[in-house]
């Protein structure tokens, strides 16, 4: 089956892709219409400062793009491990302002 084109009328999309690549593509086709955005960014492969700096840059860009996609009533969920949790929270506060933070779920 061929993939359907993405439009503002598209509903219930599940996209398996690199986060930034998907966000860039979606911002070309959609406005602020997404109600729920769940991202699982690639975690740093090492504990080096460079690896965490790259993770922070990538997550900043991903969430900045995500902020353009979310509707005013939308929510974003970020999957982060214990080593990247602080970086993820800081990036989310930059993209969405700290006042919009609702809760952190730790499993």
pLDDT at 2: 46
In whole numbers, what is the pLDDT of the chain averaged over residues? 86
Quick check: pTM over 0.85?
Answer: no
pLDDT at 3: 63
Compute CA distances 99 → 12, 25, 41, 96, whole Å.
Answer: 28, 28, 23, 8
**d(Cα 32, Cα 95) in Å, to the nearest integer?**
14
Burial of 90 (0-12, 13-18, 19+ CB in 10 A): middle
Maximum separation of any 2 CA atoms in the chain, in Å: 44
């Amino acid at each position: 089956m061929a993939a359907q084109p993405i439009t503002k009328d598209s509903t219930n999309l599940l996209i398996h892709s690199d986060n930034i690549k998907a966000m860039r593509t979606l911002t070309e086709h959609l406005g602020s219409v997404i109600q729920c955005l769940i991202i699982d960014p690639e975690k740093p492969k090492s504990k080096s400062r460079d690896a965490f700096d790259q993770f922070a840059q990538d997550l900043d860009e991903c969430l900045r793009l995500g902020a353009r996609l979310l509707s005013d009533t939308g929510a974003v969920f970020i999957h982060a491990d214990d080593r990247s949790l602080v970086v993820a929270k800081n990036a989310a506060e930059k993209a969405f302002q700290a006042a919009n933070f609702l809760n952190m779920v730790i499993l």
